Amino acid sequence: MFERRLLFFDFEVTPSLWMVTFVEYETKKVLTIINDREKLKKFYDLAKECIFISYNGRTYDIPIFKSILLGLNPYRVSTQLIEQGKKAYQILPKEHKQIKFYHYDTSTGFHSLKQLEGFLGMNIEESSVSFSKDNLTDDDIVSLKKYNIHDVLATIEVFEKRLDEFKAYMTLMKMFDLPLEYLNKTKAQLGAIILDAKKPTIDRGDDWDLRVPTNLQLGRYEFVKDWFFSDESKEPNAKLKLVAYGVEGIIAWGGAHFAKKNITRTGFMVNYDISSMYPQTMIVHDTLSRNIKDKNKFVEIRDLRLEYKRTHKDELSYALKILINSIFGASGDKYNDLYDERNKRLTCMYGQLFILDLLDKLETHFGNSIECIQINTDAVMFKLENNQQYLEFKEIISEWEKRSKYTMEGDEISYYCAKDVNNYVMKITNTGELVKVKAKGAMVKKNTPLDNDLSIVNTAIRDYLCEGIPVEKTINECDDYIKFQKIYKITSNYKYAIHNGSPLPNKVNRVFASKNKLDTSIFKLKKGKEKPDLFAGSPDHCFVDNSDIREKSIPDNLDKQWYIAIAIKRVEMFTKEKYKID
């Protein structure tokens, strides 16, 4: 499947023992090495041309690996990495840079591996052996080895769920003739390397030296431009509250967000998005990072991506998409060579101002004869009355596109229900045929295997809002145990979780609503406090099941009525109407 062997690995470290398990992807052969530096060195010499894959290995497992090869104490290094929050370059001698690794980190950046194991329905029991324990027994070592192998196999499952990301990285390596060591770079770092960006040695000192394009025509929204240039906009977390085309919202350096709350609309609606707004802004309005040596290279990459998309070369298109999308964010990262705070501000400001420019033209032409429903940084949604209005609407957009140099893509919407700007469902029904149901927000999103949290509630809400299916029907007829799980994780600020009056050994726990009234909620005890805090959203009565539930049937004590009540409560948050039980 792959040109090079893939080796998945994970380290466990205690005061007196280190352990690493390797699993070869194609054959699934397992090798565990315990406290044998020479064996690890020989293995590394034989396998160093392979691609090593880990979860969070960029910040932990690779530094541990290198520390052992260099003859350092891995427990001391582990303590500095975890407890003191130090980086590898602060701990390891400079010789560590000479140890070559082709390493890919498959972490999501948002969740721990145990959380993802929980979402996947896997066993999430923590090791029964404390990682601070010295003088481990034989039973301890057997237990730790089992735990170590389990985490490597879990890493493989996560990798397979995110395989497109790895393929994109490999595609970029080949496309731009990059050394394979760059697999360990973030997307933003790769973007800087590919575009040959270099930060200036002297600060330009022009972070607030703003300007606006000459083709901008704001009309009634001219005051928004004035706000961007004001001292008020320079305050931390600055935002401008206003009403645009009858919709309340905010303008800020992070984007524009306007939406009518708690509304349901049917009939003929349109949702128009600016295609690749940030890349287009950076190209047309020259707001690309000034640290890039040849800006035409970015244009070529963008155009190549569009060609791949047009010709359905999906893997190539996706690889360039993740590269292009990383450039804007990287321009605001002071540690990245693309860092250019002024141009990042201009990019975001221009997008919002041009959306307001479009709103001004629509409002001038239509007035109150059409309804504005939602406005985002790069999109607008309106309810129209007839096809004639749609033709006029498209004509105004066409004229705006010619002047602004943006391109908009539109969908026809037959149904829209929103709690707020960040939580809504809509039916996309182009030319009268249902294309798909789009859902945004934690309460209604379509859960994936890697965020499988109360998914039955989300499904019930979507089915009710879009199809009128009673939530109790969806929930009562579901026999998939995993869809009822709620995953809770304690952070480093807490000592442990508590359930039924006893501390739990796990940092991550899988919780279900319980019919047993003797079962308590689940709590967490903060360090330095005596009284525990309730986990947000915990059922009043719940049970914990941290075993592998993928093949399990729903137990008799699962309280489906709790999920029904939660779904009904959330439906009412969308509709602001009393739910009528079927």
What is the model's pLDDT at position 41? 96
> d(Cα 476, Cα 559) in Å, to the nearest integer?
10
Could you tell me which of 244, 261, 568 has the C-alpha nearest to residue 416?
Answer: 261
Provide the pLDDT confidence category of residue 468 given band limits of 50, 70 and 90. Answer: very high
What is the pLDDT averaged over residues 138-143?
92
Could you tell me the pTM of the whole model?
A: 0.90
Q: Helix, strand, or coil here: 178?
A: coil
Burial zone of 501 (CB within 10 Å; 0-12 exposed, 13-18 middle, 19+ buried): exposed
Predicted confidence at residue 582, as pLDDT, reads 63
How high is the pLDDT of residue 127?
85
Q: What is the DSSP string of 261-317?
A: SSEEEEEEEEEEEETTHHHHHHHHTT-S-TTBS-THHHHHHHHHHHHHHHTT-HHHH
Q: How far apart are CA 378 and CA 277, in angstroms?
A: 6
Which residue is associated with the tokens 């009056």? 501
How confident is the model at residue 423, as a pLDDT? 92
Per-residue model confidence as pLDDT tens digits over 81-105: 988 888 888 999 999 989 999 999 9
pLDDT over threshold 90, residue 525: yes
pLDDT, residue 321, reads 92
Whether 450 has a pLDDT exceeding 80, the answer reads yes
How much is the pLDDT for 2? Answer: 65
Query: In this structure, are residues 245 and 378 in contact, taking their beta carbons and an 8 Å threshold?
Result: no
Indicate whether 279 pLDDT > 90.
yes
3-state DSSP assignment of residue 40: helix
Q: What is the mean pLDDT of residues 168-188?
A: 93
Which 8-state DSSP code applies to residue 62? H
Residue 433 pLDDT grade (very low, low, confident, very high; cuts 50, 70, 90): confident
CA distances from residue 345 to 227, 242, 257, 332, 348 in whole angstroms, order as listed: 13, 20, 17, 9, 5
Residue 85's pLDDT is: 86
Whether residue 1 has pLDDT greater than 60: no
Q: Map 396-430 to HEC letters.
A: HHHHHHHHHCCCEEEEEEEEEEEEECCEEEEEECH
What pLDDT does 340 receive?
Answer: 96
For 101-136, the DSSP string reads -EEEE---SSS-HHHHHHHTT---PPPSS-TT--S-
Q: Can you give the pLDDT at residue 378?
A: 92
Mean pLDDT value across the chain: 94
| CA angle, residues 44, 50, 51, in degrees to nearest 5 | 110
pLDDT at 303: 93
Amino acid at 246: G
Q: Give the tens place of pLDDT for each residue, 243-252.
A: 999 999 999 9
pLDDT-based confidence at 128, cuts 50/70/90? Answer: confident
Place 480 in a pLDDT band, splitting at 50, 70 and 90: very high
Mean pLDDT, rounded, for 532-558: 96
Q: What is the pLDDT of residues 343-386, one digit of tens each?
A: 999 999 999 999 999 999 999 999 999 999 999 999 999 999 99
Average pLDDT over residues 529-535: 94
Of 400, 424, 405, nearest to 277 by C-alpha is 405
